[in-house]
């Protein structure tokens, strides 16, 4: 059985406490590797290594930092198959998805920020003949990066790459539910020649390792992606210490469909935006609102297609959905389906655990589920389920659907389908979300600001916004006479 190690000061180390956590393969419910059960002592070691590396890394020329990070990007690409298989075994997602999205995107994250830093510049402000101000942007120090299980390497690298490119050293913690590709990344960082201590990866539970990072007095910046409740806990600890905080949290995204949409395109994309990665993408559209004149047609066609989506072995190319990430998560999703029934919902398809044969009999599979007949403000339509479950609901006009869409505590992303240009812009302007996709979904330009409003988070990732976050501005004012 493979034993994962921490990556501290350039070395692969056992946790100081020498204890491990079982790592499950969601496709068959069996333990297949061991994760370090690290604690604050390992975080301390990692922070010391990062602090020691910082003075040199922070003044290493950008071109040199860029060269090393590009090498990591190349190594991720060279190991595409191996990493995609590892991601699939660890997370339950179809290998095909990991190969097409997760791993290429992890390489792109490094590539994007390794080259982006070469173009990042700060402002100057002239006061005519009186004075000139210029702004310096310096790396902050040791950055704490904490990431979730749904897009493991993709989201881990989305934080680490800009932090490192802008000259910070990092203490990072991947999710204890999906640690494998972060471990494989540590091997690739060693191969790429990343100097010792620049990146440190400490594995283990959130309440031990994550909490120790959030509370560490020498880690002045925390970039976190995960659940809203955890984000609130991190803010509770870190805010009174005046840490810089970026929080990318949960969502309950609306998918608004008008009758004048490009129907076939909408239908195909809505299957993906509902069920990709078993619905475990923070950007999935889980509340589908359909203009009443199109509702019955959409319902019939959508349910017909959803019933055809194959739930199966993640290694099988035919599988559209693999396993959900863990047994507790499967139970949580199934409990929401029960709640939906109690709230008066009708399950149009799915609604059950799927039992596969043989080796996969104990895997965590759920049939893609479509529910109708619920009110916009019931718990099922207000709380994040984060699984292969969507609700559908008719609406009569723009005001009504905007009220439905904006009614939750969340505000991460929204999806809008219409061929009416002015309506598209009008609604986009009135949606309370950080991201609006019109006639598309998950179309990502890494230069754009990424993040949510309300309980979906604080701050933005992406593009130069990430460099702004991972650097501290200092204004220098020079009097000219």
> Rounded to whole angstroms, what are the CA distances from 298 to 114, 261, 293?
44, 11, 10
> Smallest distance, Å, CB 177 to ligand NAD?
6
Distance in angstroms (rounded) separating the CA atoms of residues 447 and 463: 4
Q: Which two tokens stand for residue 146?
A: 């904490």
> Smallest distance, Å, CB 66 to ligand NAD?
25
Q: Which active-site residues does the annotation give?
A: 248, 282
Pairing state of beta strands 413-417 and 435-438? parallel
- Using DSSP's 3-state secondary structure scheme, residue 131 falls into strand
Contacts of residue 432, defined as CB under 8 A and 6 or more positions apart, other chains included, come to 405, 406, 411, 453, 454
**Toward ligand NAD, which CB reaches closer, 45 or 155?**
155
Q: Which two tokens stand for residue 377?
A: 């403000």
> Smallest distance, Å, CB 77 to ligand NAD?
23
Q: Which two tokens stand for residue 243?
A: 């840490």
> Smallest distance, Å, CB 474 to ligand NAD?
29
> Rounded to whole angstroms, what are the CA distances from 469 to 163, 450, 464?
9, 13, 9
> Smallest distance, Å, CB 400 to ligand NAD?
26
**Toward ligand NAD, which CB reaches closer, 108 or 418?**
108
Burial (CB < 10 A; 0-12, 13-18, 19+), residue 21, is: buried
Per the document, the length of the chain is 481
**Toward ligand NAD, which CB reaches closer, 156 or 417?**
156
Distance in angstroms (rounded) separating the CA atoms of residues 98 and 46: 29
**Toward ligand NAD, which CB reaches closer, 221 or 290?**
221
> Rounded to whole angstroms, what are the CA distances from 143 to 57, 132, 260, 411?
13, 31, 47, 26
For residue 435, give the nearest of 412, 458, 454 by alpha carbon: 412
Which stretches of the chain bind ligand NAD, using CB under 6 A? 146-150, 155, 173, 175-176, 206-207, 210-211, 214, 225-227, 230, 233-234, 248-251, 282, 384, 386, 412, 452, 456-457
> Smallest distance, Å, CB 223 to ligand NAD?
11
* Beta carbons within 10 angstroms of residue 396's beta carbon: 10
**Toward ligand NAD, which CB reaches closer, 149 or 289?**
149
**Toward ligand NAD, which CB reaches closer, 66 or 456?**
456
Q: Are 52 and 59 in contact (CB under 8 A)?
A: no
Q: Are 280 and 324 in contact (CB under 8 A)?
A: yes
Distance in angstroms (rounded) separating the CA atoms of residues 49 and 471: 20
**Toward ligand NAD, which CB reaches closer, 42 or 291?**
42
> Smallest distance, Å, CB 334 to ligand NAD?
16
Distance in angstroms (rounded) separating the CA atoms of residues 63 and 25: 40
For residue 224, give the nearest of 178, 277, 165, 155 by alpha carbon: 155
């Amino acid at each position: 059985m493979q034993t994962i190690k921490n990556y501290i000061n350039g070395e692969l180390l056992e946790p100081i406490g020498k204890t491990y956590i079982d790592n499950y393969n969601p496709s068959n419910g069996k333990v297949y590797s061991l994760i370090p059960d690290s604690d604050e002592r390992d975080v301390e070691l990692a922070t010391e290594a990062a602090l020691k590396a910082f003075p040199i890394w922070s003044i290493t020329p950008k071109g040199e930092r860029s060269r090393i990070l590009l090498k990591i990007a190349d190594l991720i690409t060279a190991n595409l198959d191996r990493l995609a298989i590892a991601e699939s075994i660890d997370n339950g997602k179809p290998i095909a998805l990991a190969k097409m999205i997760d791993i290429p995107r992890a390489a792109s994250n490094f590539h994007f920020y390794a080259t982006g830093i070469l173009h990042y510049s700060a402002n100057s402000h002239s006061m005519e003949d009186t004075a000139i101000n210029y702004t310096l942007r310096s790396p902050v120090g040791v950055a704490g990066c904490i990431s979730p299980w749904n897009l493991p390497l993709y989201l881990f690298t989305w934080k680490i790459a800009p932090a490192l490119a802008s000259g910070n050293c990092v203490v990072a913690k991947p999710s204890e539910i999906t640690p494998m590709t972060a471990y494989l990344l540590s091997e690739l960082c060693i191969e790429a020649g990343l100097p010792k201590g620049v990146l440190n990866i400490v594995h283990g539970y959130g309440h031990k390792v994550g909490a120790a990072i959030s509370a560490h007095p020498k880690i002045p910046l925390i970039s976190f992606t995960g659940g809203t409740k955890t984000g609130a806990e991190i803010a509770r600890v870190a805010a009174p210490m005046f840490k810089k905080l970026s929080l990318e949290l949960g969502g309950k995204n609306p998918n608004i469909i008008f009758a004048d949409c490009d129907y076939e395109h909408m239908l195909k994309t809505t299957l993906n935006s509902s069920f990709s990665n078993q619905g475990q993408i923070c950007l999935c559209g889980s509340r589908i609102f359909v203009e009443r004149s199109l509702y019955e047609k959409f319902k019939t066609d959508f349910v017909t297609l959803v019933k055809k989506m194959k739930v199966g072995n993640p290694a099988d190319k035919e599988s559209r959905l693999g396993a959900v990430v863990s047994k507790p998560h499967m139970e949580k999703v199934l409990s929401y389906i029960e709640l939906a029934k109690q709230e008066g919902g009708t399950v149009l398809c799915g609604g059950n655990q799927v039992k596969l044969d043989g080796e996969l009999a104990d895997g965590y599979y759920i049939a893609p589920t479509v529910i109708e007949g619920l009110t916009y403000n019931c718990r099922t339509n207000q709380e994040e389920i984060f699984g292969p479950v969507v609700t559908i609901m008719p609406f009569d006009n723009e005001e009504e659907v905007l009220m439905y869409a904006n009614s939750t505590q969340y505000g991460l992303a929204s999806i809008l389908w219409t061929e009416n240009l002015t309506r598209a812009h009008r609604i986009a302007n009135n949606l309370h979300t950080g991201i609006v996709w019109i006639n598309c979904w998950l179309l990502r330009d890494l230069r754009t600001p990424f993040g949510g409003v309300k309980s979906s988070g604080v701050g933005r990732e992406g593009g130069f916004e990430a460099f702004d976050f991972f650097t501290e501005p200092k204004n220098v004012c020079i009097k000219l006479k």
